Structure 1
Amino acid sequence: MRILQIHNFYKQAGGEDTVFEQEAQLLRAHGHTVEQLTFSNNDVTSTKAKLQAALGVVYNPQSAGIISQSIKRFKPDVVHVHNFFPLVSPGVFWVCRKYKVPVVMTLHNYRLLCPSAVLYYDGRVQLENVQQTFPIKPILQGVYRGSKIETASVVLATGVHKLLGTWREKVSKFIALTPGAADLFQNSSLRLRPEQLSIKPNFTADPGLGAATREAYFLYLGRLTEEKGIRTLLKAHSIKPFPLKIIGTGPLQALVEEYAAKNPLVEYLGFRPREEAMEQLKRARALIFPSEWLETFGMTAVEAFATGTPVIASNIGGGAYIVQHQQNGLHFSPADAQELASQVGLLEQLPDLAKKLGQHARQSYEQHYTPEANYARLLQIYGQAIGATEKPASATVAAEAGL
């Protein structure tokens, strides 16, 4: 099979970039021909480039031309879009339809429903945006890059294409990463057809099992932002101090650094390469995943599972789906620092429980999140997308969508 992957890199690398590269490697390892067409926000530096990007959010003729040439030259069986914002624009879906090439898009975030991309601002989840074609509140809040104008451009781009039926008619298949995310997108202003949505989690390469006997510390691994629950984590630590290591950078880095300087049990490690982060996971008692938004997935939780490390996760979004309470980890209520502290205390007092949860975590990884399991599901979705462009979707295809 010939697959054309399309991705717009943000200025700051993230999980979407990792999935984009990993899926390409996986497909190539199985003998498929993969071409990657990439765009980068790092190229938008001059005033002229910024103006062109802003004007092209609804339909970017320059990127549409590049994609058109790639399709004519490469002749893909399927196009897989990971991120079109902002330089690619939704024009990619119209180009694919013009050449009758099936197109798949992975829903890595909630950008199609809310310009914040995370459905979270003002300290809470903002579900009212899900049903609005042009959500106004986030524009007034300037939730995208702190700018009302830039936020409005995002709302305009997604809203216009809702009215044009782009999401409903021009995309063969959407990939949601969890059933919860799929349900949210299905019942939204996008008005998607049920057969358009399939569920496929992300995967991670096997880093190997961690130590049989773990050290005393707990680990946080991820971005230091409000929606990730960093304040709740620090508050839980202040209620009941415990050995804690924190890896990551972000807007709340100064807060973490200040807290760590005053608390000898907290070690802030800043940014660490993946290999080092995995080594820290392999020795940790558990990973803490305190997110307070509806995570579309939870890659660090799956990486923890792969090392046989249990996860203490807030019971919301991806964490609620990936982590099964008392099976491969523990749940606590979102933003409830006292409950988080209690769950940490439980694993401190019961190391055998932590070991059992870790063993089940590894089993969860082997069953659901290996490259091979992911490859089989991805190929199935590509086949459904190709079939959907050749003939109307049947009831069987709708049932196989996983909803």
Structure 2
Amino acid sequence: MIHNDYLELGGEYFSVRSEAEGLRAAGVDVELLLASNSQIAESNLWQKVTALTLQRDAYGLVSDAIDRYKPDLVHAQNLFPALGAGAIRALADAGIPWVRTLRNYRLACIGGDFRLDGDDCYLCESSARAHAGVRRRCYRDSRTQSIGAVAYARAERRASASHQPSAYLVLSRWMVSALQPVLDGVTVHVHPNIVPTASVAPAPKSERRFAAAFVGRLASNKGPDFVIEVAALRPDLQFAIAGSGPLAKQLETARPNVKLLGEISHPEALKLMANSVATLVPSRWDEPFGRVAAEALSVGTCPIVLARGGLPDIVDGLDDSLVQASLDPRQWAESLGTLCSLTDARYSRLTEACIRVASERYSASALTASLIRIYETVLPR
């Protein structure tokens, strides 16, 4: 398994390691080869261009690992920016089959999120031809760095064309449709992130402190300001917002029925959701997955989500009112009120359904078994 860690720790860091640990627990011999873009970040412009396009270091790193471990299959996770074409050329020269997990939209969008200045943007069908992305400085708000991102994408695409992955793994059904133009007819499997089984026991509805919680980055695309709008319509209910980000100052003037908790630890976030009747996930962008919503399920809390990106997949098969068609605060307030009005017995049944869905779809055991089945379709019999 090969992976490029980002400089900033994020969900992908834990997802990759969870997959490797799950496979080892199932008896699969796994070597996790990690690269970092710290060296690229510290280099000058010419060194960055060379590293992003030629990637001799990546070729040597992966070739040496293949010689040492002699893998039957390579699972590529994030390749950007330190692995890319160099890693793929090494796999091609060794004749090793490979599969690739996509956790963002970088194959089609150099920014990785189909967003521009706070709005949706689908001007570029491929990062390798992202002329509009260069003009609009979509990568790190820099035209120079955007040119570098396109050069990287072109080199990677050329390498992939000569040695295609046997399968792509994406996190949601939405990602399949969003990335279809750049997947080149390769088999695609929906394979979401592992969400570890929570050790937090859900409380009866009547004992939960908050009607609704928001957990995440306090940024416009995540929608914490929308939670304030919902709270304004239900002054009789208590809300909690946990996280940090650019909207933190703005939210300090929140309503008296909204408690701002600031940034809290992951265990504290799980306890907060378990102590809330609902978790609100009003993301204004197409989340590839929606980890907070899945974690809410794991602690027996109903996530109310916007019908965008991968979020509807999380609550598929549960109550229809958990998926909102738009950011209409009245509709969200109504759905939240309905949940809060349930008896403890009815809410307990919903809690049990949430935990069951989380276990069936996102537990390490379920997704490790799914991953092994995918590998078996690739390996020669």
Describe the SS at the equivalent of 1:7: strand
1:360 pairs, out of 323, 344, 353, with: 353
CA contact (8 A) 1:305 1:361 kept: yes
1:55: Cα distance to partner?
A: 2.9
What's the offset of the Cα at 1:261?
4.3
Residues 235, 160 of structure 1: alpha-carbon distance in 2 compared, 3 angstrom cutoff? farther
1:178 equivalenced with 2:169 (yes/no): no
Q: CA shift at 1:240, angstroms?
A: 4.0
Asked whether the equivalents of residues 197 and 298 of structure 2 are also in contact (C-alpha less than 8 Å), the reply is: yes
Give the whole-Å Cα distance in 2 for the aligned partners of 1:134 and 1:205: 38
Aligned residue number for residue 80 of structure 2: 85
Q: 2:302 aligns with which of 281, 286, 310?
A: 310
Q: Which residue of 1 aligns with 2:19?
A: 23
Q: Show CA shifts across 1:166-195 (max 9, x none).
A: 158422221011122123322x1x25224x
**Which has the larger displacement, 325-334 or 140-149?**
325-334
TM-score by length of 1: 0.85
Deviates more, 1:135-144 or 1:8-17: 135-144
Q: Which amino acid aligns with 1:347?
A: L
Q: 1: distance between equivalents of 2:257 and 2:38?
A: 38
Select between 30-39 and 322-331 the one with higher mean Cα deviation.
Answer: 322-331
Look up the match of 1:140: 135
Q: Deviation of residue 232 (structure 1)?
A: 2.7
- Whichever residue aligns with residue 319 of structure 2, its letter is Q
Fraction of identical pairs, as percent: 27
- How does 1:275-314 map onto structure 2 within 5 Å? 275-314=267-306
Change (3 A) 1:44 1:343: same
Check the 8 A contact 1:257/1:268 in 2, yes or no. Answer: no
Q: Would the aligned equivalents of 1:333 and 1:339 in 2 still touch at CA under 8 Å? A: no
Aligned residues of 1:323 and 1:329 also touching (Cα < 8 A) = no
Match of residue 333, structure 1, among 325, 335, 339:
325
Q: Please give the alpha-carbon distance, in whole angstroms, between the structure 2 residues aligned to 1:228 and 1:122.
A: 14
1:148-174 deviations in Å (ceiling 9; x for gaps): 211222123224544x26158422221
Inter-partner Cα distance in structure 2 for 1:285 and 1:375: 30
Structure 2 CA distance for aligned equivalents of residues 191 and 202 of structure 1: 20
Residue range with higher mean Cα deviation, 206-215 or 93-102: 206-215
CA distance in 2, matches of 1:43, 1:268: 38
Distance 1:237 1:217 in 2: 10
Quick one: structure 1 residues 131 and 157, their matched pair in 2 at CA, closer, same or farther if it must change by over 3 Å?
closer
Separation (CA, whole Å) in 1 of partners of 2:194 and 2:42: 37
Q: Compared with structure 1, are the counterparts of its residues 325 and 199 closer, same or farther at alpha carbon in structure 2 (3 Å cutoff)? A: closer
Task: Find the aligned partners of 1:167 and 1:350 in 2 and give their Cα distance.
Answer: 55
- 8 Å CA contact 2:212, 2:240 repeated in 1: yes
Q: Report the Cα distance in structure 1 between the residues aligned to 2:363 and 2:318, rounded to whole angstroms.
A: 22
1:234 aligns with 228
SS at match of 2:18: helix
Tell me how far 1:300 sits from its aligned partner: 1.4
Q: How far, CA to CA, are the matches of 2:102 and 2:95 in structure 1?
A: 22
How many angstroms apart in 1 are the aligned matches of 2:221 and 2:26? 37
Indicate conservation of the 8 Å contact 2:84/2:156, yes or no.
Answer: no
Per-residue deviation at 1:225?
A: 2.9
Cα gap change, 1:86 to 1:366, in 2 (>3 Å): same
- Given the superposition, is the C-alpha separation of residues 326 and 74 from structure 1 closer, same or farther in structure 2, using an over 3 Å criterion? closer
Q: How does 1:319-330 map to 2 (within 5 A)?
A: 319-324=311-316, 327=319, 330=322
Q: Which residue of 2 aligns with 1:394?
A: none
